[in-house]
Amino acid sequence: MMKRLLAIGLILVIGYWLANGLAGVPFGEDRMLVGQYYLDNVKQQTGAINAVTAVVVNYRGFDTLGEVTVLFIASTGVGALLWRRKKERTAEVEGSVVLTTGTKLLVPFVILFGSYIFIHGHLTPGGGFPGGATIATAFLLLYMAFTAYEIPHKGFEKTEGVAGMSYVLVGLIGLAIGGYFLFDWIWQTWKIGTVGELLSGGFIPVIYMLIGIKVGTELSGIIDNMIKEGVSE
């Protein structure tokens, strides 16, 4: 009881302190120092309509490369910690016919929609991370509905690696052509596409496709690792 009261008291003090700090940042006031620059120049400099993806992939692409790495570490870490020589699914109850049939019908559509999201990252809300997560839900569905389903491991791991390497390679090509790492050579040097059409946005769609594939395979791999149990030989 005493402990709980103390904790509540402490949280209130911290909350008050934080609120005090937040009060110094008035809501809704114009704080667009760098932000205004992005809004003013995004179309002409990156060829993308979606300012968020342009900032995330192009202006601050370094962060996104880092985030992709964080996800990669998460899936590698889960893989390392749950590693067993032999693992099997231990699910016992097969889904009902309605569930299995529904899943069979649904999976291609989910994958199609996921791909749509990451291919149109520079035009519509979304991008590689939501698209990849959507694709992973398709595999989650398969795992939930069928007791025997397994993703093709070897292929998935290799695809994940290749997608990540290609992202870095795109950046290195930028270093070779434009002199800067992650330089958008497709838009800045070659000027391919018209703003607003599918073929535009420089390397944003290319990178988002890679991220989509990578995130999709990674999350599926995490699900696979967590859902299986080691069996003694």
Partner 1 sequence: MNGQYASLLIALPLISAFFVPLLKGAGKKAVGYFLVVVTALQAVIATLVFQQVYDTGKPIIVMAGGWKPPVGINLYIGHFAALFVLIVAVVSFLVAVFSLRAVKVEPIDKYAMLLLLLMLGATGMIATGDIFNLFVFMEITSISAYALTAYNKTGEAAEASMKYIILGGIGSSFFLIGVALIYGSLGTLNMAHISELAWTMNPTVAEVGLALIVFGLAVEAEIFPLNAWAPDAYQAAPHPVTVMFSAFVVKAGLYAMARIVYLMKDLWNWSSILRLLVILATLTVIVGELAALRQRNVKRMVAYSSISQIGLMALAFALGTEAGVDAGVFHMVNHAIVKTLLFLGVGYVALTLGGTGIENFRGLGRRMPVTAFSISVGAVATVGVPLFNVFWSKVRIILATLDVGYTWAAVLVLGASVVEAVYYFRLLHTMWFGEGGERRDESLTMGLIMLLLALLVIAIGVYPDYVWNIAQKAGNDIFNVAQYVKNVPLMGVGA
Residue of 1, 3, 5, 20 interacting with partner 1 (CB under 8 A): 20
Nearest residue (CB) to partner 1, 110 versus 170? 170
Residue 89, φ and ψ in degrees, nearest 5: -75, 140
Q: Does residue 23 belong to the site contacting partner 1 (CB under 8 A)?
A: yes
Query: Residue 60, interface with partner 1 (CB under 8 A)?
Result: yes
* CA distance readout (Å), 221 to 82, 127, 157: 12, 20, 8
Q: How far apart are CA 115 and CA 216, in angstroms?
A: 10
Angstrom distance (rounded) from CA 211 to CA 70? 12
Q: How far is the CB of 78 from partner 1 (least distance, A)?
A: 8
**Least distance (Å) from partner 1 to the CB of residue 76?**
5
Residue pair 207/125 in contact (Cβ under 8 Å)? The answer is no
Tokens of residue 180, six digits:
């800067």
Q: Which of 85, 152, 199, 232 binds partner 1 (CB under 8 A)?
A: 85
Specify whether the CB–CB gap between 46 and 201 falls below 8 A.
yes
Cα–Cα distances in angstroms (integers) from residue 180 to residues 169, 173, 203, in the given order: 13, 9, 14
Region of 79-87, 98-106, 122-130, 144-152 interacting with partner 1 (CB under 8 A): 79-87
Among 184, 200, 212, 218, binds partner 1 (CB under 8 A): 184
User: Binding partner 1 by CB under 8 A: which of 9, 15, 66, 125?
Assistant: 66
Query: Which of 1, 2, 21, 93 touches partner 1 (CB under 8 A)?
Result: 21
Q: Which of residues 103-162 bind partner 1 (CB under 8 A)?
A: 157-158, 160-162
Alpha-carbon distance of 53 to 46, in angstroms, equals 10
What is the smallest separation between the CB atom of 53 and partner 1, expressed in angstroms? 14
Determine contact, residues 47/202, Cβ cutoff 8 Å.
yes
Q: Does 1 bind partner 1 (CB under 8 A)?
A: no
Tell me if 172 contacts partner 1 by CB under 8 A. yes
What the block records as the tokens of 223 is: 């699900």
Question: What is the total count of residues that contact partner 1 (CB under 8 A)?
Answer: 58
Angle separating helix axes 61-81 and 153-177, nearest 10 degrees: 150
Read off φ and ψ for residue 143, nearest 5 degrees: -65, -40
Would you tell me which residues interact with partner 1 (CB under 8 A)? 17-18, 20-25, 31-38, 58-63, 65-67, 69-70, 72-74, 76-77, 79-81, 83, 85, 157-158, 160-162, 164-165, 168-169, 171-172, 174-175, 178-184, 188
